[in-house]
Amino acid sequence: MPPAKKRNRSYDSARTRAAVLAQFAHVRTAVEKLSPEQLDGPTRLGEWTVRDLAAHVAWMVDSVPLLMEAPERGKDRLALLDWPSVPEGGAGRIDEHTRGIDASDLPGLYARVADDYGRAMADADDERLLPVSFGAMTLADFVVTRTVELVVHTDDLNAATGAGIPYDRQALAACTRLLADALAAKAPGGAVEVRIPPYAVVQCVEGPRHTRGTPPNVVETDPLTWVRLATGRAEWAAELDAARVSASGERADLGALLPVMA
């Protein structure tokens, strides 16, 4: 039997575009309040300081207008569900670029990026192909990936600073759904039902498919715990022990499948 075809979930483009700007605004407000000492503090991302991380967040949003200025490229199309497995391969390039960003005036950088993003997205075609470094993605798909970058790094910033940056509901929903779908694509099947209320339910892992009633193998957690598990910021066993994840059934151990994005 041929492998199951990856199915892209439908995202509301207008809401996703707005969610990127809303989450970036939350980060911008928090970053502008950080002291120089906080900005020079460590993060859980290797040698990156908070200032480095803040600059990286700005670049993740700035990449949209920058790529829209480049010529379209139609070859080597990258599907949305393939994206979570790609960034790890470019870690060195990402680190080098981030460290090269002039982050001496973060408020000015964030203001410029927000303006550029807003102008670029006005009447932009969702089907425009952006020449990302690992292929070509439609604008609509690429904007969904920006919600993942923003939510994940908002959590990194909160962990590093205790700033309590809020999460835009639509951004968190899109991030949660894409990472859940990535798990289902990585381990196709119907033996385990993964529930991440209120945003996502997916089935995965080979085995008997559930059709009605209570599934025999169920995993359930909250969105932020799922995001941390899916990106390697939390360990499966630790989250089970802390009761932030519930797992029932002999096939409900997802530890070997995580993370889905590194």
The CATH number for 173-257, chosen from 3.40.190.10, 3.30.1050.40, 3.10.20.520, 3.40.50.970, is: 3.30.1050.40
Say if CB 138 and CB 127 are below 8 A apart.
Answer: yes
Mean of pLDDT over the chain:
93
Locus of tokens 């989250």? 239
215 three-class SS:
coil
pLDDT over 70 (residue 6) = no
pLDDT tens string 207-240: 876 566 677 899 999 999 999 999 999 999 999 9
Residues 112-129 as b or e (16 or more Cβ within 10 Å = b): ebbebbeebbeebeeeeb
Q: Cβ of 169: how many Cβ atoms within 10 Å?
A: 15
Q: Residue 3 pLDDT > 50, yes or no?
A: no
Res 215: pLDDT:
78
For residue 16, what are its two tokens? Answer: 């996703």
Q: Identify which of 154, 12, 137 has the alpha carbon closest to the alpha carbon of residue 72.
A: 137
pLDDT in tens, 36-87: 999 999 999 999 999 999 999 999 999 999 999 998 876 678 999 999 988 6
Whose CA is closest to 186, among 6, 2, 1?
Answer: 6
Entry pTM: 0.94
Contact 193, 247 (CB under 8 A): no
Residues of the chain with CATH 3.30.1050.40: 173-257
* Range in 11-15, 36-40, 105-109, 129-133 the model is least confident about: 129-133
CA distances to 200, 209, 216, 217 from 213, rounded to whole Å, are: 18, 12, 9, 12
Tokens of 190: 């119907």
Q: Which residues contact 51 (CB under 8 A, 6 or more apart)?
A: 39, 40, 103, 106
Buried b vs exposed e over 154-164: b needs ≥16 C-beta within 10 Å? bbbbbebbebe
Comma-separated ranges of CATH 1.20.120.450 domains in the chain: 13-167
CATH class (in words) of the domain with range 13-167: mainly alpha
Q: Per DSSP, what are the bridge partners of residue 202?
A: 194
Cα–Cα distance between 22 and 176 in angstroms, integer? Answer: 17
Tokens of residue 32, six digits: 């502008």
How many degrees, rounded to 5, is the angle at CA 188 between CA 184 and CA 191?
Answer: 95
Distance CA 195, CA 177 (A): 11
